[in-house]
Every structure is written in C-alpha cells, then in structure tokens.
Chains A and B, each alone.
Chain A
C-alpha cells in the first residue's frame, strides 16, 4: 500500500484537535460535554474558550436539548460523550429536537464499537450507525484515524445541518496524509484495483489496507474505498468501482444489521446487485478485553477481510 504509519494516535484526539481549530476559526462554535471532557479530549477547547463551553454533568438527554436550544442566533453546538450515550441513551431527544427540527447540532461520539476494550458490553455500542442513519436529514460520519477525524470535525463545523460524528478510543495507526482532501459525502479511493472492491469505514480502513497488501501477495487486486460518510452515501463512487471489479466486501466496527454494509447492500439491491460479503459484528453484544483481542474475536481484522474477499470472488 502507499500509506505509511505517520504515528499512532486515537481518533478522539483528532476530534479534540479539530474542535479547538474549528473554535478558533469560528466564534459561533460552542461545545457541551457530559462529565467526560478528558475522555473526549475537549479540554483544550474548554480552557481556550471557557465561556463557550458548557459542562452538563452526567445528563446526556439534557445536553442534547440544551444543544438544540443553543443553535439560536447561529451558534453551532458540538456535544461530546461516549457513542452509546450520544445515541441510544438520547434517541428521542435527537429525533425530536435535533433531526425533526433540523437543528445545526454536531453530535460527537467517542468510544464507539468494541475497540473501547475493558469497559465492556454496556459501553460498546454496535448499533449507533443504524439508529442515526434512520433519522431523516441526519448526516452520519465514521472516521478512520486521527487526521481524518480532525478534518471531519472542521468540515462539519462548516456544514449546516445535524451531524453524527463517530470515532473511537484506542490509539490506532494514523495514516491519512494531512493534505488529503476531505469532503462530507465523498468516498476516498485509497488504493485502486480491479478484482474486488473493499469498502471500509472507521477503524476497519487500516485493516482493509493491510488486506490490500495480503491480497496483492496472492495476486488479487483489491480496490480500497474509504467511506467515511455513511449517510449520505456516495453511491456514484460505489458503482464506479463495481462496474470495474464486479464484487464487493464491506468492513465496519458495527453490528452487521443496520450499518455501512446494509446501506451498500440497499443501494446495490435497488439499482444493480453484485455479489457482496460483509465484515461486521454478527449481531451480538461485546465484552471486556483488550481492543485487539476483541477485534480478533469478533472477526474485524484484515484476515477476515481477506477471507471475505476470497469468498466473494468465488461468487462472481
């Protein structure tokens, strides 16, 4: 692959850095956090702009309502808490006062997926993409590394409308070059290939690139597409690639039900179906453990992508 590991960094730190930068560029940005300022890396924003930062205590539902109210006068609220408390916990608030009311709220969610590790199943949300993409008008973004999370945070500040930005806890390879363009809703072709399309989001993008190398060794040419914006989905990029490769594997750190894979499957089924395999969590809750052990156990590593590619190639 043509990407180097620039460093190891957590995506939530990319969010923190992006929030600070967006805050410097635009006075209208305000931020709220529910007793997880350190975990969300919002400390820098909070100390730089104390009058624009609201600590809500452990009251996520209240925080979403406050954020919706804060949009008056062009303010752009960013809320921060873990992904399960940003979605399932507050779903009716998000639905009524943010999505239905089309408020310009940015719901920023850390510790998504199983890779948060030791905190276990109660905290490992694997259904948040499903919940959020089902809301009309909600943009859903799942970033893959520090640089992309920083870029996305800045980009959503400039975009008008409700956004769900999903990122994670552990330190992972940071490989997206800083000068790579980021556009909401635009897929990124990371590697070109001709035999199979691999569409990945979040922490699985790096795994897809590792799979690219593995497959290349076996003479299989994979096209690796990073879909960071799950909604709206870049259908054009998907079909453009599939016209060439004729089969696809999706990869995500989410339940197999309701995630990126189902979004891609829906688009294919409604237009032109191609053989497809999905790398995702198989409709189960997580558990405590080290991030890497869990990614291995739940089948979210590059080897699982390689296996799925081989399977889908046979169905071509």
Chain B
C-alpha cells in the first residue's frame, strides 16, 4: 500500500533523527565512515520501519526478514538504526569503536543484537544474503532477505558470481539494493573503475532493475513494493544517492568517506540536518 501522508512524515522525521545519530556516533567514536552511512539513511529507514518483519524482543525469530549490510564499513549508520527500532539502548553507542565495546567499526553479529551478518571485507554480503534466501526456500519460510551494496563494492567479482547464482536460482525473495552514491575511497566511481551502464549489467545477469532516487521515500516505497512481490525474476533496486547526504559540507565529497569531527563540526553537521518536508 502506498505511503500515507502521515507515514511519509514519520519516515522523514525518523531519517532526520538517524542522520543526527550517525553524526553523534561518528563524533563519539573519534571517526567513522560517515559519508556512506548518510547516503543509505532513507533506504534503511524505510526497510526497518515499513518493510522488514522483525521483533526486537526476539532477535533470533526464525521468520524475521534478514538484512545484510554488505558495505560493512557503514556500521556507523546501521548501529543507531538497530537501536532506534529497539534492539538495544542507543546510549551504548557512546562506546562505538572503543576498546572492549561490542560495537566495532565493522559490526559483529556475535556481539550486536539484531544484526544478521558480520561484514567489513567487501564483496561477501550478496553471497551470504543469497544463502539466506535459499535457506528460506529450503525451510519453507516466507521471509525476505535484503542486501545493501556499495557502488564501489560492486568492483568485486564475487558480487557478479552471486548475481549469476541468484538469477539461476530465481531467488525472488532476495532483494539487493545498490547505494549508488557515485564515490568510493580514491575518487568518483566512474574515475576509479567505471560501472556504467550499471542497469544493463544487472539486467544481463538476470535481474529486473528498478532505478529510484534513494532519498525519496515515495520512489523507494514503490520499488520495494514491486520487489517484494516479484515472482518471475529477482529485482534489484539501484538507488541513486548522494554521499554525505543531509550534511551540507559533506555532500558529494569523496573525502568524507571516512572522517572525524570535532565539537564545532559536530554542531555544524547536526544543525544542517533538516526534516525534508
């Protein structure tokens, strides 16, 4: 069902809150992969608040939907999301990246409640997510597996092996989403290693491709609705996003892939986050 006005308003507020949380955690941690965390905010917000069946009281519930953050360096974005939906108290994120904290830079599913996979080395997530999707089939369960990939990450050949296998097995219960923010570490994606035409590549590997503005909840919602009801072939959502989205001085800047912020930048960053009404 399409988003109602009040649902839309709520999602926008949640997204703004998550951005502020990401800024806080980056500040507390003394540095984190903030650019790619900010670009995925709307994607994970709509997944966790509208699409995913989860039970924070029962994180191991067998029928829950799965989420694999294949671009694992963006843990600084996922950790506050998991806190906001109730898996743990956000206060504990003050220890993020600190020695002995359950929250390292790359989240560990043995230590973080509600986390379905440990990631950090790029190019592993889609294969794991495919395995989770096949497990649902074998066990006759109805859950969906969502997998969020970085655009730079798509350089890794392992992703293309997983895509080939996903279309071979017609895993329509697997929903890959590309956070297409156009930047990686050494520069812009097209300069470092060109990906275009990205849609044609996914199509050639057997996917139906939906391209959306990854910061627009209405577009994301329509695409997800289509993806969750796919029957013929799996759907990939290519979400066009802006790296550093929502913090004016970080937007579309490669250098904010990883960054630390002092208390002045912290205030400035938070002040620039607006609920986009």
Contact = CB atoms under 8 A, between A and B. Distances in A.
A62 B186 contact: no
A119 B119 CA distance: 12
A84 interface: yes
Contact of A287 (B29, B99, B153, B155): B99
Interface in A13-60: 33, 35-39, 55-59
Contact of B106 (A35, A56, A62, A123): A123
A118 B186 contact: no
A290 interface: yes
B99 A55 contact: no
Contacts of B29: 118
B157 A123 contact: no
Given A58-B153, A122-B106, A288-B99, A84 B186 contact: no
B171 to A, nearest CB: 24
A122 B155 contact: no
Give chain A's interface residue range (CB within 8 Å of chain B): 20 to 34
* Interface secondary structure of B, over-half rule: loop
B121 A288 contact: no
A57 B185 contact: no
A258 interface: no
Nearest to B152: A58
Given A38-B186, A62-B157, A123 B98 contact: no
Interface in B68-113: 72, 97-101, 103-106, 108
Contacts of B97: 118, 120, 288-289
B45 interface: no
A61 interface: yes
Contacts of A294: 99
A289 B186 contact: no
Interface in A276-316: 287-290, 293-294, 297
* Interface secondary structure of A, over-half rule: loop
A288 B104 contact: yes
Nearest to A123: B120
B118 interface: yes
Contacts of A206: none
A38 B192 CA distance: 13
A119 B73 CA distance: 8
A89 interface: yes
Contacts of A35: 152, 155, 184-186, 192-193
A57 B104 contact: no
Interface of B: 29-31, 72, 97-101, 103-106, 108, 118-123, 152-153, 155-157, 184-186, 192-193
16 contacts: A55-B186, A57-B184, A58-B156, A58-B184, A59-B157, A84-B121, A119-B105, A120-B97, A121-B104, A121-B108, A122-B72, A287-B100, A287-B104, A288-B103, A293-B99, A297-B99
Given A85-B121, A120-B97, A288-B103, 8 more contacts: A37-B186, A55-B193, A58-B122, A59-B155, A59-B193, A118-B104, A122-B120, A288-B99
